[in-house]
Chain A
Amino acid sequence: MSNHHLNYLEQLEAESIHIFREIAAQFERPALLFSGGKDSITLVHLARKAFAPGKIPFPLVHIDTGHNFQEALDYRDAMAASIDADLIVRKVEDTIKAKSLTEAKGKFPSRNWLQTYTLLDTIEEFKFDACIGGARRDEEKARAKERIFSVRDDFGQWNPKLQRPELWNTYNGRINKGENVRVFPISNWTELDIWNYIKHENIPLPSIYFSHERELIVHEGQLVALSDFVLRESTDVIVTKRIRYRTVGDMTCTAAVESNAVTLDEVISEITAAKISERGETRIDDRVTEAAMEDRKKNGYF
Chain B
Amino acid sequence: MDILRFITAGSVDDGKSTLIGRLLYDSKNILIDQLEQLEKQTKNKEAGPIDLALLTDGLRAEREQGITIDVAYRYFSTPKRKFIIADAPGHVQYTRNMITGASNASLIIVLVDARQGVVEQTRRHSIIASLLKIPHVVVAINKMDLVDFSEEVYKNIVADYASVAAQLGLNDITYVPISALQGDNIVDASTKMEWYTGKPLLQLLEEVSIDEDINLTDPRFQVQFVIRPQTEDLHDYRGYAGKVISGVYRKGDAVTILPAGIETRISKLEIAGEEVSEIFAPQSATILLADDIDISRGDSIVNTNNLPTTLNELDVLLCWMDDKPLQSGNKYYIQHNSQLQRAIVKEIAYRIDVNTLEHQSVEGQVKLNEVVKAKIKTSSQLVFDSYEKLRANGSAILIDETSNSTVAAVLFI
Contact = CB atoms under 8 A, between A and B. Distances in A.
A126 interface: no
Contact of B82 (A8, A24, A165): A8
A170 B396 contact: yes
A167 interface: yes
Contact of B273 (A10, A53, A144, A291): A53
Given A7-B2, A11-B2, A169-B337, A142 B228 contact: no
Interface string B333-348: 1011110000000000
B272 interface: yes
A294 B59 contact: yes
A170 B284 CA distance: 14
A290 B239 CA distance: 48
B280 A4 contact: yes
A172 B397 contact: yes
Contact of A277 (B34, B62, B77, B227): B34
A281 to B, nearest CB: 7
Given A18-B224, A188-B84, A281-B33, A138 B216 contact: no
Interface stretch (A44-52, A64-72, A101-109, A236-244): A44-52
Interface string B61-85: 1100001011111110100011010
Interface string A8-41: 1011111101100110110000000000000000
B170 interface: no
Nearest to B32: A275
A138 B2 contact: no
A37 to B, nearest CB: 19
Contacts of B248: 4
Contacts of B103: 167-168
A164 B395 contact: no
A98 interface: no
A6 interface: yes
Interface in A183-225: 187-188, 190, 192-193
A141 interface: yes
A22 B3 contact: no
A231 interface: no
B259 interface: no
Contacts of B49: none
B369 to A, nearest CB: 12
**Most A CB within 10 A of own CB, among B37, B59, B69:** B59
B33 A280 contact: yes
A116 to B, nearest CB: 19
B391 to A, nearest CB: 8
Given A168-B395, A193-B82, A280-B33, A21 B272 contact: no
Contacts of A25: 224-225, 297, 338
Nearest to B233: A53
A168 B392 contact: yes
Given A8-B1, A144-B73, A165-B409, A50 B282 contact: no
A53 B69 contact: no
Contacts of B1: 7-8
Interface stretch (B123-131, B161-169, B306-314, B399-407): B399-407
B335 A161 contact: no
B27 to A, nearest CB: 13
Interface string B1-36: 111000000000000000000000000000111100
Nearest to B35: A275
A190 B406 CA distance: 27
Nearest to B401: A174
A5 B282 CA distance: 9
A275 B321 contact: no
A190 B1 CA distance: 15
A277 B35 CA distance: 10
Contacts of B37: 290
Contact of A165 (B33, B75, B280, B321): B321
B234 interface: yes
Nearest to A145: B72
A50 B69 contact: no
**Most B CB within 10 A of own CB, among A151, A167, A170:** A167
B77 A165 contact: no
A192 B77 contact: yes
Nearest to A176: B404
A269 interface: no
A7 B198 CA distance: 27
A276 B73 contact: no
B211 A1 contact: yes
B242 interface: yes
Contacts of A274: 31
Contacts of B2: 5-8, 11
Contact of B69 (A12, A48, A161, A176): A161
Contact of B409 (A4, A51, A137, A167): A167
Contacts of A144: 72-74
A277 B31 contact: yes
A181 B33 CA distance: 32
Contacts of B273: 49, 52-53
B261 interface: no
A271 to B, nearest CB: 11
A167 B100 contact: yes
A277 to B, nearest CB: 5
B228 A165 contact: no
**Most B CB within 10 A of own CB, among A54, A141, A161, A281:** A54
A290 B37 CA distance: 9
A164 B406 contact: yes
A263 interface: no
A53 B59 contact: no
Given A137-B73, A163-B70, A190-B75, A14 B60 contact: no
Contacts of B272: 17, 48-50, 52
A55 interface: yes
A284 B140 CA distance: 40
A17 B285 CA distance: 9
Contacts of A151: 404
18 contacts: A4-B280, A6-B282, A8-B2, A18-B243, A25-B297, A53-B239, A138-B75, A141-B57, A145-B70, A166-B100, A167-B104, A167-B395, A172-B406, A188-B73, A193-B82, A274-B31, A280-B34, A290-B60
Interface of B: 1-3, 31-34, 37, 57-62, 67, 69-75, 77, 81-82, 84, 96, 99-100, 103-104, 211, 216, 224-225, 227-229, 234, 237, 239, 241-243, 248, 270, 272-274, 280-284, 297, 321, 333, 335-338, 392, 395-397, 399, 404-406, 409
